[in-house]
Amino acid sequence: MQLREDVRNIAIIAHVDHGKTTLVDQLLKYSGTFRENEHVDERAMDSGDIERERGITILAKNTAVKYNDTTINILDTPGHADFGGEVERIMKMVDGVALVVDSYEGTMPQTRFVLKKALEQKITPIVVLNKIDRPNARPSEVVDEVLDLFIELGADDEQLEFPVVYASALNGTSGLEPEDQQETMDPIFTTILEHIPAPADTREEPLQFQVTLLDYNDYVGRVGIGRVVRGKIHVGQQVVVLKEDGSSKSFRVSKLFGFIGLKRIEIEEAYSGDIVAISGMEDINVGETVCPQDHPEALPWLRIDEPTLQMTFLVNNSPFAGKEGKFITSRKIEERLMKQLETDVSLRVDPTESPDAWIVSGRGELHLSILIENMRREGYELQLSKPQVIIKEIDGVKCEPVERVQVDVPEEYTGGVMESLGARKGEMLDMVNHGNGQVRLEFKVPSRGLLGYSTEFMSQTRGYGILNHTFEAYEPVIKGQVGGRREGVLVALENGKASTYGIMGLEDRGTIFVNPGTEVYAGMIVGEHNRENDLTVNITKEKHLTNVRSATKDQTATIRKTRQMSLEEALQYLNEDEYCEVTPESIRLRKQILNKNEREKAAKHKNK
């Protein structure tokens, strides 16, 4: 069998923040793909605003570099488990993976998650130990940890013979030994060429091309990105797309794009082993196979991870609706959700009995909150219900998603963390004391027990703890209440502006969420109560003026710092009877029933 020695296809996989996007930057830079005078942003592959701000990769991206005479197609994959659907599909496009591991942190939950996906596909791995310049780097121990992980995940003998390259992506150095660091990426490139198999050259056989990623372009519509698995494809060719239900549709390839650096370039034809983008068909979907009309032969279907979390998106109907956003109608919100489905294959949008509400299901809190954050930046206003885990029936048994949780904390906080995760029905799997005052704990916890846990965890460990979790499996539902908020809330009694006097009168009752001068409405949540019950409060109360001079008049009124919540924290904080109101300028929490008397009636009715 002939091989295409001029092509290599490799995915870069790693846990969040282990430096894979920075490493791709350096590979692009040192391969000479850019001109001398061309300006390239840091983390060039993270093109979205949110990706740049949070320093995470959300969508898998592909690029290609020329090294000597070989084209190396590099796919930068997300490290976060919420975007695991992307990682799994990417594995179908490549022949090898570069596993990037932080030389101090070692293997993390998502390292395990992404590596498991690669090993299942029998893909050839190489290991890049990054951040070797860190003063507390421990390369030899981390290599042992990686080897243990490979064995634990059932790697075969060939996969266990992985080569290791040591690098500092930030400094642009690499070498085959930890101490031997030079300002070049050559050791990584040569390791890729020597160890990653070249694709088979089957250009004389009938075409097979599988769509792995979707893109959308206003000019050409949907764009299917994938690998030419067999044969060749050219512009103008009449082909058929084989659908999941067995049906097929024919179309003409109107445009064909190859990749070089960060650009897409129009090409005339592509051969087996090439990664390309094709346009010309309106409803092309992930997993579908493109073949010649006279030889329809489908490739195995790509399995896409099922959603594990859902929440209701509603049209904003609060007293402040329409004040801050541009797009507020149900038609606009529905159009935007449908547009998201064009490219996000892990998302589901289901209509409800109400025309103003949709059930949106995704892979996790981060997956859904990034969609919401994008919508609010684009000018949308909406309301959201408390996130719920999706219960599945497997062999007649109700099952819920369970996650593997890894916690790194200073020794003095281990007792508190074990107690709080135990209360959330967590089962401890492992505990390792690193001997430097840091302890690593591993648990198995139901996903619903983790909703809202990160805020509690941060205050419990004074911000010193690191929490990582990744989906493990569906297991029978654990009976009883798991997790959830224990404290009640302070709810505004009437519309108006929060006053300093009103806030000061409430500080003994709990934590306040709004600053003086903030517009509030009746039924809006303005703070957290110290006790378990909700309390309706008058936060707009002004001090009565009298002609009696106060003895403390010269004392300046000072109020405690209010608690401001991010979007994720607000969603995690919600209870069953509450909504989160999201607009381009504000994030507010509110009761579903705004009127105090009606709310109390509903609560009595529920407790009967």
**Do the domain assignments include residue 255?**
yes
In this structure, what DSSP letter does residue 448 have? H
157 assigned to a ligand binding site:
no
Domain assignment of residue 276, given as a range: 208-292
Mean pLDDT within 274-303: 83
Residue with tokens 């990037």: 100
* β-strand partners of 259: 264
Q: Give the C-alpha separation, 63 to 16, whole Å.
A: 20
Residues 360, 368: Cα–Cα separation, whole Å: 8
pLDDT tens column, 88-136: 678 888 899 998 888 888 887 667 777 887 888 888 999 999 888 888 8
Same domain assignment for residues 427 and 522:
no
Last residue of one domain, picked from the residues 138, 162, 195? 195
Q: Is residue 481 part of a domain?
A: no
Q: Note the residue count of the chain.
A: 608
In a domain, 104, yes or no: yes
Q: How many beta carbons lie within 10 A of that of residue 252, not counting itself?
A: 11
| Inside any domain, residue 316 | no
Q: What residues pair up with 383 in beta bridges, in sequence order?
A: 314, 581
Residue at 510 is within a domain? yes
pLDDT at 32: 63
Number of domains in the chain: 4
Confidence of residue 551 (pLDDT cuts 50, 70, 90): low
69 is in an annotated binding site: no
131 in a labelled binding site: yes
Task: Tell me the chain's radius of gyration from C-alpha atoms.
Answer: 27
Tokens found for residue 187: 């050791």
Distance CA 543, CA 466 (A): 45
CA atoms of 200 and 603, how far apart (whole Å): 67
Domain co-membership, 43 together with 159: yes
Alpha helices in 424-578 (DSSP H): 447-450, 453-460, 500-506, 567-573
Let me know whether 30 and 158 are in one domain.
Answer: yes
Torsion of CA 200, 205, 210, 214, to 10 degrees: 90
Do 442 and 472 meet the contact criterion of CB atoms below 8 Å apart? no
212-225 average pLDDT score: 76
Query: Quick check: is 229 in a domain?
Result: yes
> Of 144-158, 264-278, 469-483, 500-514, where does mean pLDDT reach its minimum?
469-483
Express each pLDDT in 148-161 by its tens digit.
Answer: 888 888 888 888 88
Whether residues 83 and 177 share a domain: the answer is yes
- End residue of a domain, out of 163, 195, 227: 195
Same domain flag for 235 and 282? yes
Q: Give the end of a domain, one of 476, 507, 522.
A: 476
130 or 61, greater pLDDT: 130
Is the Cβ–Cβ distance between 513 and 528 less than 8 Å?
yes
The percentage of residues in the chain with a pLDDT greater than 90, rounded to a whole number, is 21
Identify the band that residue 470 occupies on the pLDDT scale cut at 50, 70 and 90.
confident
Specify the higher pLDDT residue, 556 or 304: 304
pLDDT band at 50; cut points 50, 70, 90:
low
* 37 assigned to a ligand binding site: no
Whether residues 67 and 212 share a domain: the answer is: no
User: With 50 as the cut, is the pLDDT of residue 229 above it?
Assistant: yes
452 with 494, same domain: the answer is no
Residue 49 lies in a domain: yes
Query: Is the domain of 43 the same as that of 170?
Result: yes
| Per-residue model confidence as pLDDT tens digits over 322-358 | 999 899 999 999 999 998 887 777 789 999 999 999 9
**In the prediction, which pLDDT does 335 show?**
92
Q: Band of the pLDDT at 383, cuts 50, 70, 90? A: very high
**pLDDT, average across residues 235-256:** 85
Among the listed ranges 203-207, 357-361, 459-463, which one has the minimum average pLDDT value?
Answer: 459-463
Q: Extract the tokens encoding 553.
A: 């008049």
Looking at the structure, tell me whether residues 411 and 496 fall in a common domain: no
Helix, strand, coil percentages for the chain (3-state, nearest 5): 25, 35, 45
CATH number for the domain including 564?
Answer: 2.40.50.250
Q: Where on the phi/psi map is residue 95: left (φ > 0), alpha (ψ -120 to 50), or beta?
A: alpha
The pLDDT, as a whole number, for residue 301 is 81
Number of H helices, E strands in the chain: 15, 35
User: Could you tell me the CATH number of the domain that includes residue 27?
Assistant: 3.40.50.300
22 assigned ligand-binding residue: yes
- Clarify whether residues 31 and 154 are in a common domain: yes
pLDDT for residue 111: 72
- Asked whether the CA dihedral 586, 587, 592, 597 is positive or negative, the reply is negative
DSSP state of 153: T
Q: Is 55 annotated in some ligand binding site?
A: no
Q: How confident is the model at residue 43 (pLDDT cuts 50, 70, 90)?
A: very low
In angstroms, the CA 521 to CA 515 distance is 14
* Burial class of residue 309 (count of CB atoms within 10 Å of its CB; 0-12, 13-18, 19+): buried
More confident residue, 20 or 425: 425
573 — alpha (psi -120 to 50), left (phi > 0) or beta? alpha
Report whether 395 belongs to an annotated binding site. Answer: no
Same domain, yes or no: 49 and 182: yes
Is 130 annotated as contributing to ligand binding?
yes
For residue 218, being part of any structural domain is answered with yes
Higher pLDDT, 471 or 293: 293
Q: Which residue has the higher pLDDT, 470 or 212?
A: 212
Residue with tokens 């909406």: 382
Q: Is 15 annotated as a binding residue?
A: no
* Coil/strand/helix, residue 89: helix
Selection from 104, 100, 124 nearest residue 16 by Cα: 100
Quote the pLDDT of residue 70: 87
Query: 457, exposed or middle or buried, with CB in 10 Å at 0-12, 13-18, 19+?
Result: buried
CA 20 – CA 87 distance, rounded (Å): 14
Name the nearest CA neighbour of 99 among 157, 33, 150.
150
Please tell me the predicted confidence (pLDDT) of residue 593.
Answer: 92
> Which H or E run includes 120?
helix 109-120
Q: Are residues 454 and 515 in the same domain?
A: no
Residue of 181 and 343 predicted with greater confidence:
181
Determine whether the annotation assigns residue 518 to a binding site.
no
CATH of the domain at 285: 2.40.30.10
578, 525 contact by CB (below 8 A): yes
